[in-house]
Amino acid sequence: MLEKLGVLKDKYIELSELLIDPEILGNSQKLQNLMKEQAQLEPIVHKYDEYMEVLSQLNDSKEMLKEKLDDDFKEMVREEIKELSAKEEELKQDIKILLLPTDPNDDKDVIVEIRAGVGGDEAGLFAGDLLRMYLRYAERKGWKTELLSVHDQGVGGYKEVIFSIKGKGAYSKLKYESGVHRVQRVPDTESGGRIHTSSATVAVLPEVDDIDIEINQNDVRVDVFRSSGNGGQSVNTTDSAVRLTHLPTGIVVSCQDEKSQLKNKDKAFKVLKAKLYDLHLQEQTDELAQARKSQIGSGDRSERIRTYNFPQGRVTDHRIGLTLYKLDAFIDGDITEMLEALITSDQAEKMKNVAE
């Protein structure tokens, strides 16, 4: 491990020298790529330097014990060795995590798609709850959000809603949210007080640039139509809504939230790119799964991942068996504890696979 870390530090120093090279400074694209590469190495190099400093102090303390010292001073040195040994193990674990294979999409922004599942109107209302939960989480993180496509059900819920979240590391945090979310509660319309079970599906897609995926315009059928709405000014009098059909895959995306046909078309293509890229990732995941099935990850979109039980005020993630008794705060966007637990469990699984 130390040999590998030494190579990475040499690479980091080399990049630092290149970043002050006048020829590199004159090439903005190359400069950006090198800065990104250096930024990825920086936390590993800093942790490596800290680790080497602890090792040096540990060796000095062990050498000191070989000298003639009074008992009190020897005891103090032994205590210092104990603390430094614990710090060494802690840093070693941190470095192992930093050296794990990274997801190339982790730094990307995301497009989140929430659809009402089984449960009728109650499923649509739950989809609305999930939308507000993610918007509040993004707000807490200082991330920007934008609604891309909304299909409401007329009673305060949603048949489908698609939105983007822009923020550093958004995909690395939210990628574990893909799957079926189940809610257990008494609907407002239920006079008998019986608990109903409903569901909604969530798909978290990394937002992609043109360099990530190219779409052949001949493969896309573009249809325009008049937006539907609840009446009044919300109904357009022109054909501004856009529907895209990707003929090779059959993927259909529509957007009607903007009054401008051009803006709706841009939003629809953004979603289509993300869906095609996600399809590519799913194919890769399926191939890898033949050799090794990860406990956590984007996984099977039909998998029930979490239950929100309102009568008991609890939320349970079934992949890691974690239950939190703070449902009100969770629905209000306080989901960090759950996400961190999922990340930790995923890292542990990856370390296990690397060891094997």
Residue 238, burial from CB neighbour count under 10 angstroms (0-12, 13-18, 19+): exposed
Residue 187 or residue 284, greater confidence: 187
Looking at the chain, the whole-number percentage of residues with pLDDT higher than 70 is 88
pLDDT (mean) for 72-98 = 90
Task: Give how far Cα 138 sits from Cα of 166, 190, 346, Å.
Answer: 9, 33, 22
pLDDT (mean) for 156-173 = 92
CB 44 within 8 A of CB 25: no
How far apart (Å, rounded) are the C-alpha atoms in residues 172 and 100?
14
Listed residue (108, 107, 98) closest to 41, CA to CA: 98
pLDDT of residue 100: 77
Positive/negative CA dihedral, 61, 67, 69, 74: positive
pLDDT (mean) for 240-251 = 89
CB 189 within 8 A of CB 153: no
What is the DSSP annotation of 328-347? Answer: HHHHTT--HHHHHHHHHHHH
Listed residue (81, 76, 85) closest to 51, CA to CA: 85
User: Residue 308 gets which letter from DSSP?
Assistant: E
CB 225 within 8 A of CB 198: no
Token duo for residue 137: 């989480």
Least confident of 71-75, 85-89, 309-313: 71-75
Residue 334 has pLDDT above 50, yes or no: yes
CB 289 within 8 A of CB 350: no
CB 320 within 8 A of CB 270: no
Residue 286 has pLDDT above 70, yes or no: no
124-137: pLDDT as tens digits: 999 999 999 999 99
pLDDT of residue 274: 87
Amino acid code (one letter) for 86: A
Q: Domains plus CATH for the chain?
A: 2-98 (no CATH), 110-351 (3.30.70.1660)
Residue 236 has pLDDT above 60, yes or no: no
User: Residue 203 gets which letter from DSSP?
Assistant: E
How far apart (Å, rounded) are the C-alpha atoms in residues 200 and 179?
9
How far apart (Å, rounded) are the C-alpha atoms in residues 348 and 322?
15
At residue 348 the predicted structure's pLDDT band, cuts being 50, 70 and 90, is confident
At residue 288 the predicted structure's pLDDT band, cuts being 50, 70 and 90, is very low
| Residue-wise burial string across 21-30, b where 16 or more C-beta atoms lie within 10 A, e elsewhere | eeebeeeeee
Residue 212 has pLDDT above 80, yes or no: no
Verdict on whether the full-model pTM lies above 0.85: no
pLDDT of residue 208: 76
